[in-house]
């Protein structure tokens, strides 16, 4: 089987990434549009935002998988020739790096933890490509921001470079405009 098309969409906060990514998935004309969401409702505002997004997607015929961590757990839920939108890498990375925050045992502080998660992510994306017609992956471009957490920015840069190298197409969103980079 020919691997599904991989499209990477990055850009700043509120740049139109998700809306553009949704349009790319719709253009795939798949039997089923799948939205893999990485957000976690850590406060009331985020819970309301997630609820609105779920309602909007349901009305538009999307099948949603809430998968804030361990993306590989979504694999059994994917059907052959689905069109997938994963939104977003930056949220997933924060969830993975800082899991167990309350318990004081961060993956970010555990040697080899993030390397294992990174390998699993690459394997999962490759496996998704074997099943899906199209995969659109969204991520925030934070590497131009002031340095807040070097580990987070280093991992994000590594992931972005890998995604861009593997992608059939890559777009950067700026003020609602898609700039094709690949």
**38 marked as part of a ligand binding site:** yes
**16 marked as part of a ligand binding site:** yes
**12 marked as part of a ligand binding site:** yes
**52 marked as part of a ligand binding site:** no
53 is catalytic: yes
Write the CB contacts of 84 (distance below 8 Å, at least 6 apart in sequence): 25, 34, 35, 36, 78, 128, 132, 134, 135, 136
At residue 69, φ and ψ (nearest 5 deg) are: -140, 170
CA angle centred on 20, ends 91 and 180, rounded to 5°: 100
**15 marked as part of a ligand binding site:** yes
**23 marked as part of a ligand binding site:** no
Which strand (E) or helix (H) includes residue 170? strand 169-174
**47 marked as part of a ligand binding site:** no
- Tokens standing for 152? 């987070």
**13 marked as part of a ligand binding site:** yes
Cα 87 to Cα 151: distance, rounded to the nearest angstrom: 21
Active-site choice (26, 32, 53, 69): 53
CA dihedral over 163, 134, 25, 87, signed as positive or negative: negative
Contact criterion met (CB below 8 Å) for 15 and 173: yes
**165 marked as part of a ligand binding site:** no
**117 marked as part of a ligand binding site:** no
Binding-site positions read 11-18, 37-39, 66, 87
Q: Which residues are known to be catalytic?
A: 53
Binding-site annotation, residues for GTP: 11-18, 37-39, 66, 87
């Amino acid at each position: 089987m020919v691997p599904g098309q991989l499209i990477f969409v990055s850009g700043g906060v509120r740049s139109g990434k998700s809306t553009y990514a949704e349009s790319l998935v719709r253009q795939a004309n798949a039997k089923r549009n799948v939205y893999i969401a990485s957000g976690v409702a850590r406060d009331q505002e985020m819970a309301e935002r997630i609820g609105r997004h779920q309602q909007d997607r349901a009305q538009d015929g999307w099948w949603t998988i809430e998968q804030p961590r361990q993306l590989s757990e979504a694999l059994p839920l994917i059907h052959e020739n689905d069109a997938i939108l994963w939104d977003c890498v930056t949220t997933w990375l924060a969830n993975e790096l800082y899991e167990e925050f309350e318990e004081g045992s961060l993956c970010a502080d555990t040697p080899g933890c993030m390397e294992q998660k990174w390998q699993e992510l690459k394997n999962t994306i490759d496996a998704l490509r074997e099943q899906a017609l199209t995969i659109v992956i969204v991520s925030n471009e934070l590497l131009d921001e002031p340095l807040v957490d070097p580990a987070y920015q280093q991992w994000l840069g590594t992931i972005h470079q890998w995604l861009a190298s593997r992608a059939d197409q890559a777009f950067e969103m700026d003020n609602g405009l898609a700039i094709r980079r690949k």
